[in-house]
C-alpha cells in the first residue's frame, strides 16, 4: 500500500520538521550560547523569527493532514507527539526541570506508534513495546551527549542532569535506564527467539559498558563510547526487526 506508506512517512517527516522549527524559534535566545546551536538560521539572522514560526505552523498542519489521510488514529498520535514536544518539552520542562530529557523522550518515542497505526489502528502489545524501547533508550543516549556538552548547557541555563546533579549521578541514572531495557524483548516474542536473544544481548552489553564507566578516569571518553553504542544499538535493533519480519 504505497499511498499509506507515503502518507505516513510524509506526515511524520513534516510534523517533526515543524516541531523542530518551533524549537528553533522558541530557543533562539539560548541557542547562541551553545556551540552546537549557535549557527542555526534563527541565531545568525538568516531567517526571521516570524517566518520560522509560520513555517512551523504550515509544516505541522500539512503533516497532520497527511497523517489524517492515512487514518484518524495516526493523526491523533502524531498530534499528541507534536504537543508533547512543543508544549510539554520545549515550552514547559526544558528550562525548568532536571527531568526535561525524560519528558522529551515521550515525543521521541511516538514515531513507531505512528508507523504501526498506519497499518493497524488497533495498537497491540508489540507497538507499545517499540514505544517503550524508544522511550527508555533516549535518556542514556541524551545524557551521554549532555555530559559531552555539559558546559554549554550550563552556560545556557538548561538544567540537564549532568549540570544539576553531576557526572556520578548521571552515570547511575544512565545505567538504570539501560537496565530497564533488558526485560522488554521478552514481550516481543512474536518477532522470534533470535530477535529476543539479540536484543537482550545488546542491552546487557550496553549495561556492561555503562558499569565499566565507574573504572574509567575519563568521563567524557566514556560518555562518547556510550553515545556511539546507543546509536549502533538502536540501528541494529530496527534493521534486524525488519529482516526477521521479512523472513
DSSP calls for 176-196: HHHHHHTTGGGG-GGG-HHHH
Residues 76-90, buried b or exposed e (16+ Cβ, 10 A)? bbbbebbebbbebbb
Residue tagged 542491552 (cell numbers): 203
Separation of alpha carbons 212 and 83, rounded Å: 38
Indicate the Cα dihedral angle 13, 27, 225, 108, nearest 10°. -40
| Beta carbons of 129 and 162 less than 8 angstroms apart | no
Separation of alpha carbons 141 and 144, rounded Å: 5
Separation of alpha carbons 102 and 202, rounded Å: 22
The list of the chain residues with pLDDT below 70 reads none
pLDDT value of residue 217: 87
pLDDT tens column, 112-146: 999 999 999 988 899 999 999 999 999 999 999 99
Nearest to 63 by CA among 23, 110, 2, 12: 12
pLDDT value of residue 65: 97
Neighbours of 73 (CB within 10 A): 18
Q: What is the pTM of this model?
A: 0.91
CA 191 to chain centroid, in Å, comes to: 23
Amino acid at each position: 500500500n504505497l499511498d499509506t506508506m507515503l502518507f505516513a512517512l510524509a506526515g511524520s517527516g513534516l510534523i517533526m520538521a515543524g516541531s523542530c522549527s518551533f524549537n528553533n524559534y522558541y530557543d533562539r535566545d539560548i541557542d547562541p550560547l551553545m556551540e552546537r546551536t549557535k549557527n542555526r538560521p534563527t541565531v545568525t539572522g538568516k531567517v526571521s523569527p516570524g517566518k520560522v514560526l509560520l513555517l512551523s505552523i504550515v509544516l505541522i498542519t500539512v503533516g497532520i493532514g497527511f497523517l489524517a489521510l492515512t487514518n484518524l488514529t495516526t493523526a491523533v498520535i502524531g498530534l499528541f507527539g507534536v504537543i508533547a514536544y512543543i508544549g510539554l518539552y520545549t515550552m514547559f520542562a526544558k528550562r525548568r526541570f532536571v527531568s526535561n530529557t525524560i519528558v522529551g523522550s515521550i515525543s521521541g518515542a511516538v514515531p513507531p506508534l505512528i508507523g504501526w497505526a498506519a497499518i493497524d489502528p488497533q495498537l497491540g502489545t508489540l507497538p507499545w513495546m517499540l514505544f517503550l524501547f524508544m522511550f527508555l533508550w533516549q535518556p542514556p543516549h541524551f545524557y551521554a551527549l549532555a555530559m559531552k556538552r555539559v558546559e554549554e548547557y550550563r552556560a545556557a541555563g538548561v538544567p540537564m542532569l549532568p549540570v544539576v546533579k553531576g557526572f556520578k549521578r548521571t552515570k547511575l541514572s544512565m545505567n538504570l535506564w539501560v537496565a530497564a531495557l533488558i526485560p522488554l524483548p521478552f514481550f516481543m516474542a512474536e518477532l522470534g527467539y533470535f530477535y529476543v536473544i539479540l536484543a537482550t544481548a545488546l542491552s546487557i552489553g550496553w549495561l556492561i559498558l555503562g558499569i565499566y564507566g565507574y573504572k574509567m578516569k575519563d568521563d567524557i571518553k566514556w560518555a562518547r563510547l556510550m553515545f556511539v553504542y546507543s546509536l549502533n544499538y538502536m540501528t541494529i535493533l530496527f534493521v534486524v526487526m525488519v529482516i526477521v519480519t521479512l523472513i
